[in-house]
Amino acid sequence: MPELIIRPLRPGETELFLSYPFARQPGMWETARDYEALLASNQYRPEHTWVALRDGVVVARACFWAGREDKRPVSLDWLEAEPGPQQVELGTALLRAAHLTIRNAEGKRPDYHLFMPPGWRDDSALRSAGEARLASAQSAGMTPFVERFTYHWSAERDGPRARSERLEFRPADDAQVLAVLKQLLVGTLDAHDRHAVAVHGIERAAELQLADLHWFPSPRDWWQLAHTKSGKLVGLIVPARNYSQPTIGYIGVVPAQRGRGYVDDLLAEMTWRLSEAAPGESIGADTDFANVPMAKAFARAGFRIVEEHLVLTDAG
């Protein structure tokens, strides 16, 4: 069998990446991605794009994504290999080679983010495609971390949102936001936050969360603290915009106010604000499968599940 050559793209080799000749699975995240557009916006880069070649034919390919201003890749979100008995082996070999040099800002192998249609495990073709990618990533040293729902909401499809009438929203500086984040991390159901607290403690986890919020390219003055009419702190909202759409960047109710339905007020206010800032655009959101209260809040607010999002992390 001809030698398998695995390497990153060189500048100007876009057509090589696009020459992948095998049938693509409908409904897969990669199938809908526009590589050239993401390359032009500096979210995909030749040095972060890897191919496996056999006799000059691309038999596997992978893209590591980064924000426009990020110096290192943030995540792997495109992984394809020739369907068939060698699919997992090809994907594994490709990732192992890429992982020799690809590292995120923390010096680890970037997380693998696999986005699948809702209910994908009930469709044999989608299940086969998804499980092959997962098997390749796990064989290359990644480990399952969390599964999440991805949501969309739009005023045109889901109806306009009324603002909260029982809360007031005020801007806050970083010191105030940091103090609230420390409260919000107590009893959090979010897997990433729970992991950060377990590894770093609440103080450092809150600082890291604050840094993550600053990553969003949307205006800083969108961040707001929520209070009751009598002035009691309720929580924090960070309506945001990522590199593709408006999004529910962060939402949280402080422990002393949980169980009173305030999450609905916070979500309504965020949705209204984002609709005003980006009329006609869909608003994105996500939450862990295990975060049942937040999933129920999104359902009450009319957010529709559009994807299931699986995250694998560096097991090293």
Domains present along the chain, CATH in parentheses: 4-140 (3.40.630.30), 156-314 (3.40.630.30)
Q: pTM above 0.85?
A: yes
Give the pLDDT of residue 281: 93
Best CA proximity match to 306, nearest among 32, 24, 44, 25? 32
* pLDDT given at position 119: 96
E-assigned strand segments in 29-127? 49-54, 57-65, 75-81, 111-116
Contact status, residue 101 vs residue 94, Cβ threshold 8 Å = no
Q: Look at residue 160 in the predicted model and tell me its pLDDT.
A: 72
- The whole-number pLDDT of residue 315 equals 74
Q: Could you tell me which of 152, 235, 220, 140 has the C-alpha nearest to residue 186?
A: 235
Element (H, E) at 233: strand 233-241
**Do 299 and 264 contact (CB within 8 A), yes or no?**
no
CA atoms of 245 and 274, how far apart (whole Å): 10
Tens digits of pLDDT across the chain (316 residues)? 689 999 999 999 999 999 999 999 998 988 899 999 999 999 999 999 999 999 999 999 999 999 999 999 999 999 999 999 999 999 999 999 999 999 999 999 999 999 999 999 999 999 999 999 999 999 999 999 999 999 999 988 887 777 888 999 999 999 999 999 999 999 999 999 999 999 999 999 999 999 999 999 999 999 999 999 999 999 999 999 999 999 999 999 999 999 999 999 999 999 999 999 999 899 999 999 999 999 999 999 999 999 999 999 997 6
What is the pLDDT, as a whole number, of residue 156? 83
| Residue 224 to residue 172: CA distance in whole angstroms | 6
Kindly state the helix (H) or strand (E) to which residue 282 belongs, with its residue range: none
**Under 8 Å between Cβ of 43 and 78:** no
Angstrom distance (rounded) from CA 310 to CA 147:
4
Q: Which DSSP string corresponds to 114-173? A: EEE-TTGGGSHHHHHHHHHHHHHHHHTTEEEEEEEEEEEE-HHHH---PPPSSEEEE---
pLDDT of residue 2: 82
pLDDT at residue 1 in the model: 66
